[in-house]
Amino acid sequence: MFRRRRPNEPPLDKGVIPWLGYALDFRDNSAQFLQKMQKKHGDIFTAQIGGYYFTFLMDPLSFGSVVKEARFKMGFEEFAHELVARVFGYHNISGDHKHLQTSSTKYLMGDGLLVMTQAMMENLQNLMLYSVGSRQGTNIWQQDGLFHFSYNIVFRAGYLSLFGNESAKQAGSTEKAKEMDRLHSEELFNEFRKYDRLFPRLAYAVLPPKDKLEAERLKRHFWNKLSVKNCKNKDNISGWISDQQKFRDENGMPEHMQDRFMFVLLWASQGNTGPSSFWLLVYLMKDPEAMMAVKEEIDNVIKSSGQVVKPGGPLLNLTRDMLLKTPVLDSAVEESLRLTAAPVLIRAVPEDMNLKMADGRSYAIRKGDRVALFPYVAVQMDPEVHHEPHVFKYNRFLNADGTKKVDFYKNGKRVKYFSMPWGAGSTICPGRFFAVNELKQFVFLMFTYFEFELLNPEEEIPPIDETRWGFGSMQPTHDITFRYRPRL
């Protein structure tokens, strides 16, 4: 509380409340708070938040000085471990993060992604297309909330692809096993959404007593449902999940703590892709030109694969190679993430250090402080980097020749980190390729097998829920109703 700014340190703003500082302002609306502080102090400042001092870097041209810094000089693991222990009840072991990165590279990228793409395809087909061609699948419009529908389908298919399917042998038949997958994944999603709604306040440790009890109940529910014991009865468990279990088992972790880690993996892998699929669909549906461009590209990719989607015919087999031929959809995905993904990247400072800015200025950062980037405000919504930043432009990340656009500028200088929905550097999301594939597969099936439209085409896109800033993909303040029916 007696801290004073020293020579060469960034502007210091402790707020008026001892110890808490700006904790409430940051929790209630991080984006608004940082915009106000940037206007007051400039592109770098130190703020007191809940007993810690955070130095926020708001100049995207200087992001490399944080992203590229060696981990021993600027780490994130201490902060991450505190959060995971508070929110999920999981306590890490030595080598945790390194093994997770290695395992994710093996199973969620490259050749491993081939296997995961196929698993995701089969589970999406089971959830979305099981009634196509049957009497249930007649041309009747069905209504749902677009956020609920998108989150529900993508979460459940991703969960089944990672954690495995019901055993056909135990269920009695393949069809019975698929039906059980549909039923129990629906139940799991409903419980997950209850936890998901509590998550921001749980992360900030401000849950009222009644909600604390509910959070503990939900934690125990997921520890049981995702337990190592239950996983052993599943078929098609992904290599990513089984490898995590094996590593922790071999390193002597108690089984109850392994169960808790499975819940961490479920949230990390599925807590963002569902909301992201909603934003992608709603932005496309509100932009007829974008809808037409994406639909045309999807039709061309299917046609060039030699497949024909028709009544009574085989279901579409969407391969990873097909997903690599969608520059228009890729740009639309990246644009929707630019508008709605807002993680905070935090690094702990174990020793006194100097932070160099792109303009040559250097600032002293104290041992024990934290350095933070909030790309949503600092670059993704910067009108100089992205013209009309609040407008969805499906081709923003496309060059005129159809190639991926990566050249964006600020003050006449190229911005390397022009959009950071996945983080960057050593903390970049290791499952980002699988997550993008999930989004694209979902959109492919929606456009190929369904007609869909907003119930009220004039209804505005819902605003972002400001209480969730900093936790990845944002969520809307309310749902928006749409209707859909099978094309076939």
Annotated binding site for substrate: 86, 272, 370
Sign of the Cα pseudo-torsion (226, 231, 237, 242, in order): positive
Closest Cα partner for 234 from 176, 286, 184, 165? 165
C-beta of residue 374 within 8 angstroms of C-beta of residue 38: no
The per-residue DSSP string of 59-128 comes to -GGGTHHHHTS-TTTSB-HHHHHHHHHHHH-----TTHHHHHHHHHHHHSSHHHHHHHHHHHHHHHHHHH
How many degrees, rounded to 5, is the angle at CA 41 between CA 39 and CA 47? Answer: 110
Which residues are documented as binding site?
A: 86, 272, 370, 429
Which residues are documented as binding site for heme?
A: 429
Compute the distance between CA of residue 251 and CA of residue 219 in angstroms, rounded to an integer: 24
Reported for 23-30, long-range contacts at CB under 8 A and 24+ positions apart, including other chains, are 23/49, 23/50, 23/204, 27/200, 27/204, 27/206, 27/467, 28/466, 28/467, 29/466, 29/467, 29/469, 30/342, 30/344, 30/374, 30/466, 30/469, 30/470
Q: Which amino acid is present at 35?
A: Q
DSSP 134: S
Compute the distance between CA of residue 341 and CA of residue 277 in angstroms, rounded to an integer: 12
Q: Which amino acid is present at 133?
A: G
404 SS3 class: strand
C-beta of residue 34 within 8 angstroms of C-beta of residue 473: no
DSSP 486: E
